[in-house]
Structure 1
Amino acid sequence: IMGVYTMTETTEDFSIDYVSKTIVEYGDVLRVIGSDITAGSTVNVYWDFVTAANLLNVTTGLSSGNFDCEVEVPSAEYGSHYIWAKDLATGATTSYEVPILVMPKIKLSPASGLKNDDITIKGYGFSEDSEITFDYDGLSEDESKDETDELGYFEYTFEVDTDVYTTYDVKATDENGYNAKATFTLGAAITLDKEVGPAGTIVKVEGRGFTEGTVIVTEVGITLDGTYPVSTKDGEDIDVSSTGTFTAYVVIPSVEIGDYEITILDVAAPIMAEFEVDGETSITVTPEYG
């Protein structure tokens, strides 16, 4: 749901006038626009409380007296939350009048796999300190439960018990009935030797359950999020074995810091695994002089 321009009564008319979404999930990126800021002043944008721990972004007041920036929704419990801003030149603070409603979300890692694989569910935006029950849609026979922390977050691992190739809806529900679903595909899967690193990182990718004897073309069948081309370390295509397996080394391209999916294209469907880009390519020159 798109945000609407809303004036907030604050000191010296300093206000947040617009937030791009008011019903959100963890990881959503929101545009925040405000006015009557001191031109050239540093503006801090916060989540719920004006404290260092809740800082979302820092921007600068424009000559027009406005400010405009993006923030990412942090891990937070289900319910209403508020976006705050502070003009560091005057000390004035303001909050957006419309509450930001955080909804539940779950992520599966990996989101595809084979029988006997361990799958991790990460849940965000559920009720705080609440028991979580799971429905695996026939994917697993696990009957255990989990519990969220004070931010409505949980992390739980289950084992795949079926060998029927299809898609399954995994569902998590808290004690108040708030729930979220994610789709798991039983079939081809990839595993990574590392899940975090800067652009330029070389990642070992092992594939299982792929279509036997096929060729995966570098920078075409290998991408981040299906958008950014990814090359193998040696620039060669990937040959899938007669047993549906492969091992390849890929190079993370130069992209903005954030969460991505390394995506390998099989004949049937794209197969994905999460990777977090946490920095730019680092180049070290030795010696440093001479």
Structure 2
Amino acid sequence: MRATLFAVVLSLASAAGYALAAVVQARLAPAGGLRALAARPLWWWAIGLNAAGALTHVAALHYGPLTLVQPLGALTLVAALPVGACFERRRVRAAEWRGALWTLGGLVGLVAVVGPAAPGDALSLPEGLAVAAVTALAIAALVRRAGHGYGLGFATASGVASGVASALTQTVTASLARELPGGPLAAWQTALLAVLVAVFATGGLLLSQAAYRGGLAAPLAVVNLANPAAAAVIGVALLGEGFRAGPVGWLVAAGSAALAARGVLLLTSGQRVAAPVTA
């Protein structure tokens, strides 16, 4: 129980860091390509905030399962409300707070039925490589669709990349902690998975930056839906993670997910696009 609580606290800290970074990224999105962004000090602050969010996320994964940690990442969208409003010098509207409450209600339901953390629940090397290969193909297809007018393709690809990076991170940390059921991986195997984590995490960051050219709300909502969805598929299909109370737990989880999705839709329709800055 203590480990689960610690995972929740770390997940909340991670969501706050990601929210700050997302608001800054969205405000800088009109600046242009990477070369133009690299000249903006604020963009490097966003990189640092993303790194801080990632580190606390890794720590959360050490104490909690994917099916707990990843849904809490949706709180990034809720945290972005007051942060974005502060940047825009306005108050958060009632519709936005309603969306936040719906989202929080759904997340509370998910946390209530999520299974306990189980040390060693992590992908094996063959599973990790297979997931990475399938994900790379899926991201390529989404990016291609985004180039043909599918505006949220970059956001979907970003969320999937981040979710897979989390799953691979869990294997790396379990191996380093010598908690894998078959014993720790060889050094080169751990290094290979760590490189894949870096590739997918960086790819998720760059894809989200491209997605924010269309504004903050809709891309951030899609990222925060695709991320836990990808991780949940991996957790349930390959890691044996699930929900308490059998079929009833699954029904509660499904209802909670519907509540959270309703909240995300309200937040998407209620948020405004942040104005670009020149810093």
Task: Settle same-fold status: TM greater than 0.5.
Answer: no
TM-score range, shorter chain: under 0.3
Greater fraction strand: 1
Comparing both chains, which one has the higher relative contact order based on Cα–Cα distances under 8 Å and sequence gaps of 6 or more? 2
Bigger radius of gyration = 1
Q: What is the TM-score normalised by the length of structure 2?
A: 0.23
